[in-house]
């Protein structure tokens, strides 16, 4: 289907750009001697994960058990569920493993570890568990030096569970914006997680896997010594937050929202489009970064950035486009019916607003990929 005939708002994927994103990070990590386990929460799309696997990815990371079930049904059987397990979700984990899914869960406390052990024993299986390490003080996890690390490791070494390794996510890497800063936090992520693994091993516990990652650190780490795998998600699409951090350029953003001009406020220089926050998401991830893109950066229908134009305000189904230099001749520049593409602040959040992607191929051949929603 031609871009002129697509409904608006729609989520577009630029396939050559997507393939380039997939290939570049895979090449980098392969050269560094580690596996890439992409986080499929960004796209929640089987076809995207198949591209990542074809490029060399090893296993996937998921953020929900819904993703685990959907991707397992689509032929992905090596899955890390990278959110601390809630005890009532363990029967679903057991059921997936009984069907042959090599699903791993994570914990960061003795209480959660004991819940896993109990569920595993009741099911007559040892559930593989990774311990979440807190390398950035940002969210969940056990500090690499904390005594609790060994307590949790010992709790898991007991019949219903098996300690599969340690994992961390340096989410605070999103606060960096210089190569030196990014390299420093990547090293902090690596060294903290490797240190935790060494402490567990020194205590006589197994720790085969050392899993780290975020898109900014995956692009910035100079050494990954001691790491076995890297997890990254948003690199597959990229977004304006990644551009501000410095690990992507706008032309490397593979996902955009197609919108149509529906009106103007001539005295204010406003252009109104039919993509509001329901389409773009409420994510304002660039708000405190070097360039605040509002709810997104504006491109023409061919995907060429229109410098200075952003979605400066959004209601549920209305976006308001303005230029940073103030009013322009908006009725002439953007007549009613004009189609525009909006680059997202945060691809994970924007993509989640859509049920499918319209994939733009060089051949012009129409292609639609479905994505998951909900839990």
Binding site for a copy of itself (CB under 8 A): 7-10, 41, 63-64, 83-88, 108-109, 111-112, 115, 134, 139-140, 171, 260-265, 272, 274, 277-279, 281-284, 313, 315-318, 320, 335-337, 348-349, 352-355, 373-375
Give the list of residues 6+ apart from residue 110 with CB closer than 8 angstroms, or none: 148, 151, 152, 155
Q: Which is nearer to a copy of itself, 154 or 284 (CB)?
A: 284
Q: What minimum distance in Å lies between the beta carbon of 95 and a copy of itself?
A: 14
Does residue 111 have a cis peptide bond before it, meaning omega lies within 30 degrees of 0?
A: no
Q: What minimum distance in Å lies between the beta carbon of 223 and a copy of itself?
A: 27
Q: Which is nearer to a copy of itself, 278 or 305 (CB)?
A: 278
32 in Cβ contact with 212 (< 8 Å): no
Q: What minimum distance in Å lies between the beta carbon of 271 and a copy of itself?
A: 11
Q: Which is nearer to a copy of itself, 10 or 168 (CB)?
A: 10
How far is CA 250 from each of CA 127, 182, 245, 339, rounded to the nearest angstrom? 42, 19, 12, 19
Q: What minimum distance in Å lies between the beta carbon of 113 and a copy of itself?
A: 10
CA distance 108 to 138: 14
Enter the tokens of residue 278: 């329901």
Place of tokens 């997939």: 22
CA distance 261 to 246: 31
Q: What minimum distance in Å lies between the beta carbon of 64 and a copy of itself?
A: 6
Residue among 35, 33, 47, 116 at smallest CA distance from 78: 35
Q: Which is nearer to a copy of itself, 27 or 265 (CB)?
A: 265
280 in Cβ contact with 351 (< 8 Å): no
User: What value, to the nearest 5°, has the Cα angle with vertex 317 and ends 240 and 284?
Assistant: 30
Q: Which is nearer to a copy of itself, 55 or 106 (CB)?
A: 106
Q: What minimum distance in Å lies between the beta carbon of 363 and a copy of itself?
A: 24
Q: Which is nearer to a copy of itself, 53 or 282 (CB)?
A: 282
């Amino acid at each position: 289907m031609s871009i002129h005939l697509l409904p608006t708002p729609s989520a577009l994927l630029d396939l050559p750009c997507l393939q380039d994103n997939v290939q570049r990070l895979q090449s980098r990590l392969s050269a560094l001697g580690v596996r890439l386990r992409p986080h499929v929460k960004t796209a929640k799309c089987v076809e995207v994960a198949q591209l990542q696997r074809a490029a060399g990815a090893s296993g996937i990371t998921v953020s929900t058990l819904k993703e685990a079930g959907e991707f397992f049904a689509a032929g992905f059987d090596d899955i890390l569920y990278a959110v601390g397990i809630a005890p009532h979700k363990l029967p679903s984990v057991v059921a997936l493993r009984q069907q042959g899914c090599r699903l791993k869960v994570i914990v960061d406390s003795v209480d959660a570890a004991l819940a896993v052990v109990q569920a595993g024993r009741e099911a007559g299986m040892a559930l593989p568990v990774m311990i979440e390490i807190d390398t950035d003080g940002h969210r969940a996890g056990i500090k690499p030096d904390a005594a609790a690390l060994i307590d949790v490791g010992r709790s898991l070494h007991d019949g219903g569970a098996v300690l599969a390794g340690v994992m961390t996510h340096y989410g605070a890497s999103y606060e960096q914006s210089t190569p030196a800063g990014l390299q420093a936090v990547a090293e902090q992520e690596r060294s903290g997680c490797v240190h935790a693994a060494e402490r567990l091993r020194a205590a006589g516990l197994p720790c085969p896997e050392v899993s780290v990652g975020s898109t900014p650190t995956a692009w910035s780490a100079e050494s990954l010594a001691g790491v076995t795998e890297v997890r990254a998600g948003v690199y597959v699409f990229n977004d304006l937050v990644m551009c501000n951090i410095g690990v992507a350029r706008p032309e490397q953003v593979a996902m955009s929202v197609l919108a149509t001009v529906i009106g103007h406020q001539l005295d204010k220089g406003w252009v109104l489009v039919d993509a509001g926050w329901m389409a773009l998401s409420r994510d304002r991830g660039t708000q405190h970064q070097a360039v605040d893109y509002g709810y997104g950066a504006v491109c023409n229908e061919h995907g060429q950035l229109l410098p200075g134009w952003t979605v400066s305000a959004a209601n549920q189904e209305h976006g308001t486009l303005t230029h940073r230099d103030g009013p322009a001749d908006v009725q002439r520049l953007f007549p009613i019916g004009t189609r525009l593409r909006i680059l997202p602040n945060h691809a994970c959040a924007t993509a989640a607003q859509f049920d499918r992607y319209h994939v733009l191929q060089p051949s012009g051949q129409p292609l639609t990929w479905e994505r998951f929603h909900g839990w």
